[in-house]
């Protein structure tokens, strides 16, 4: 009974990092970190598996910046797997399994495919895989749109001369061929004339444009996807792995639950899924983290109740302030060298370094990214200001099926069997200010982390974790931390009063 009140829990606003002796300048800092046991990323940021934060567009943008997006699971399996596919095809040194079109398809069908995959043209192949041509914007330029439905690909495609290259061509040779023939796409063929891959100019440009991008061994962007542990969760997990997901996040509000641990064990042992990295969560105690490590996870995700849209701590009265929760989880994970991910509750860039010093190796963000161009949903105008909607996955809107949109979100809160009109919500629906492109927001967040590393005197993330020390502050200290006794007269790119 003595330890009924075990200890005081601290969160981001309760602590500051001590400045230390430094010979690091901010631009020297290297933010490379471990996402999981086997995957490293160059910036320690994940976008949250929420239906107002991460779909394929956000996942692509996050991976290009050097982080990773976790696709939410509040959609049918085929939709989520389709999004994994979109990310994996979006940018690569060579596309090994390109989207193609048949010669007898209409231009209208082609147009739909190109829109769906956001590409400007496709190789044309016979049903047996033989490459017969290529069709791009250039070929379509002189066909009026009203004739798209009645015109076949074979009648306008470029067939001869067709510039191709053998599979295995070196990157530089491919670039030279593209330049020499002034073409944008180079289909690769095997010795039988079957299409075996595709190299595009865009991919060359992109890899120069996004030097930090998170990529797999084939040069494709990394992507993660959320799964549950209930109902068709196994079918979802295998479909996502099949589609190419690099990471599965077993996504629940209480990761210290038997069903959840069973799912992790199955994922890590079944031949269909055991090669994929598995993140488990969420937990907020040392024991919870230890249970996940024992079940075999590749990273432990921490956070019960810190989220900006979360009401778990008031509805259920349960949670642990986030800095303490991360530290407790780290105590359980350090021996097994399993990385910790701090999920939720970050308000400013300075909170990233605090999470890392507490023991996390990366952080997951919802609210800080929900206002970017790449999050799902349209801009809304309120009193002349621009906002984007942001809601908890345990909000009424996310947990209830509406019209033909079925909800898949209830089991995250262990209410998979509860009728829609009886769910107990643990989140709210809201809006956040519009923030422009993700690249600009990520730049400020990572830039803030570089400043933290400079102040602490750490060139790398492990060094930051080793050297970083906290001072606990009081409400007066917090007041002093924020701008005070002055009226802000201009917007700041990385600060707004909450
Ligand atoms: P935040 O970044 O503070 O907006 O928090 C995002 C996190 O909140 C998510 O990654 C998830 O763990 C949690 N979440 C999502 N929905 C809800 C809810 O409805 N309670 N909570």
DSSP state of 382: E
**What is this model's ipTM?**
0.99
pLDDT number for residue 161: 83
- Selection from 458, 482, 427 nearest residue 12 by Cα: 482
DSSP one-letter string for 311-374: -HHHHT-----HHHHHHHHHHHHTTTT--EEEES---STHHHHHHHHHT-SEEEESTTTTTBTT
- Alpha-carbon separation of residue 332 from 94, 147, 297, 439 (angstroms): 41, 65, 13, 34
Indicate the Cα dihedral angle 362, 368, 371, 376, nearest 10°.
40
Of all protein residues, the one whose alpha carbon is nearest to atom 7 of ligand 1 is 344
pLDDT number for residue 239: 98
Q: Among the atoms of ligand 1, which is closest to the Cα of residue 48?
A: 10
* Largest separation between any pair of C-alpha atoms in the chain: 83
- Among 73, 412, 435, 467, which one carries the catalytic annotation? 412
Q: Judge if the beta carbon of residue 45 lies within 6 A of ligand 1.
A: no
Q: How far is the CA of 347 from the centre of ligand 1 (A)?
A: 12
Which run of H or of E encompasses 439?
helix 438-456
pLDDT number for residue 92: 63
Of all protein residues, the one whose alpha carbon is nearest to atom 17 of ligand 1 is 392
Q: How far is the CA of 432 from the centre of ligand 1 (A)?
A: 14
Residue-level length of the chain = 498
Which CATH code for domain 107-200?
Answer: 3.10.580.10
Helix, strand, or coil (residue 33): strand
Q: Among the atoms of ligand 1, which is closest to the Cα of residue 347?
A: 3
Question: Any binding-site annotation on 181?
Answer: no
Q: What is the 3-state secondary structure (H, E, C) of 96-120?
A: CCCCCECCCCEHHHHHHHHHHHCCC
**Nearby residues of 219 by Cβ (< 8 Å), 6 or more positions away:** 92, 93, 94, 207
What gap in Å lies between CA 69 and CA 328, rounded to an integer? 25
Q: How far is the CA of 53 from the centre of ligand 1 (A)?
A: 10
DSSP state of 19: P
Question: Any binding-site annotation on 253?
Answer: yes
274 catalytic residue (yes or no): no
- pLDDT tens for 466-481 read 999 999 999 999 999 9
Q: Judge if the beta carbon of residue 346 lies within 6 A of ligand 1.
A: yes
Domain 2-90+213-481 matching CATH 3.20.20.70: the answer reads yes
412 catalytic residue (yes or no): yes
Q: Judge if the beta carbon of residue 124 lies within 6 A of ligand 1.
A: no
- Among 310, 333, 435, 467, which one carries the catalytic annotation? 310
The pair phi, psi for residue 431, each rounded to 5°, is: -145, 155
- Selection from 151, 175, 154, 172 nearest residue 163 by Cα: 175
- Selection from 289, 310, 327 nearest residue 11 by Cα: 327
Q: Residue ranges per domain, the chain?
A: 2-90+213-481, 107-200
Q: How far is the CA of 50 from the centre of ligand 1 (A)?
A: 8
User: Helix H segments across 210-334?
Assistant: 233-243, 258-269, 286-295, 312-315, 322-333
Q: How far is the CA of 56 from the centre of ligand 1 (A)?
A: 19
CB-based contact 261:295 (threshold 8 Å): yes
List, run by run, the mean pLDDT of 10-residue segments along the chain (498 residues). Answer: 82 98 94 98 98 97 97 97 94 76 95 87 93 92 91 93 86 87 91 90 80 91 96 96 98 94 97 97 97 98 98 97 98 97 98 98 98 96 95 94 85 89 94 96 98 98 98 97 93 87
- pLDDT tens for 427-450 read 999 999 999 999 999 999 999 999
């Amino acid at each position: 009974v003595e330890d009924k009140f075990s200890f005081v829990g601290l969160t981001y606003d309760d602590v500051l990092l001590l400045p230390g002796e430094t010979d690091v300048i901010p631009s020297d800092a290297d933010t490379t970190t471990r996402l999981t046991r086997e995957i490293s990323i160059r910036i320690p940021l994940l976008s949250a598996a929420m239906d107002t934060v991460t779909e394929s567009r956000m996942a692509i943008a996050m991976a290009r910046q050097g982080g990773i997006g976790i696709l939410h699971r509040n959609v049918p399996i085929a939709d989520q797997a389709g999004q994994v596919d979109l990310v994996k095809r979006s940018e690569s040194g060579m596309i090994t399994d390109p989207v193609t079109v048949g010669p007898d398809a209409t231009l209208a069908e082609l147009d739909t495919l190109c829109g769906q995959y956001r590409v400007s043209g496709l190789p044309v192949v016979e049903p047996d895989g033989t490459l017969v041509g290529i069709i791009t914007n250039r070929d379509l330029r002189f066909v009026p749109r009203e004739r798209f439905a009645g015109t076949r690909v074979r009648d306008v495609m470029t067939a001869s001369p067709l510039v191709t290259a053998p599979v295995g061509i070196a990157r530089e040779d491919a670039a030279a061929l593209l330049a020499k023939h002034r073409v944008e796409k180079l289909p690769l063929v095997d010795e039988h004339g079957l299409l075996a891959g595709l190299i595009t100019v865009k991919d060359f440009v992109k890899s120069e444009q996004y030097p930090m991008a998170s990529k797999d061994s084939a040069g494709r962007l990394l992507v993660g996807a959320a799964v549950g542990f209930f109902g068709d969760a196994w079918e979802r997990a295998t479909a996502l792995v099949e589609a190419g997901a690099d990471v599965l996040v077993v996504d629940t509000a209480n990761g210290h639950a038997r069903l959840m641990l069973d799912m992790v064990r199955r994922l890590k042992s079944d031949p269909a899924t055991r090669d994929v990295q598995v993140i488990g969560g969420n937990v907020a105690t040392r024991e919870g983290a230890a249970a996940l490590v024992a079940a075999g996870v590749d990273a432990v995700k921490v956070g019960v109740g810190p989220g900006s849209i979360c009401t778990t701590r008031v509805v259920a009265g349960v949670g642990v302030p986030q800095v303490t929760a991360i530290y407790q989880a780290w105590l359980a994970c350090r021996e097994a060298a399993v990385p910790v991910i701090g999920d939720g509750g970050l308000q400013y860039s300075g909170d990233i370094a605090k999470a890392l010093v507490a023991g996390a190796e990366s952080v997951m963000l919802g609210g800080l990214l929900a206002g970017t161009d790449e999050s799902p949903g349209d801009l809304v105008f309120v009193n002349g200001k621009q906002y984007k909607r942001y809601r908890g996955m345990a909000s009424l809107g996310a947990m209830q099926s509406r019209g033909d949109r079925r909800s898949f979100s209830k089991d995250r809160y262990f209410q998979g069997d509860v009728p829609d009109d009886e769910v107990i919500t643990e989140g709210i629906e809201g809006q956040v200010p519009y923030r422009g492109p993700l690249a600009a927001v990520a730049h400020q967040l990572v830039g803030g982390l570089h400043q933290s590393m400079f102040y602490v005197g750490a060139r790398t993330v492990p060094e930051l974790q080793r050297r970083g020390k906290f001072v606990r502050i009081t409400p007066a200290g917090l007041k002093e931390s924020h701008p005070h006794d002055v009226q802000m007269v201009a917007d700041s790119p990385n600060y707004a009063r909450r």
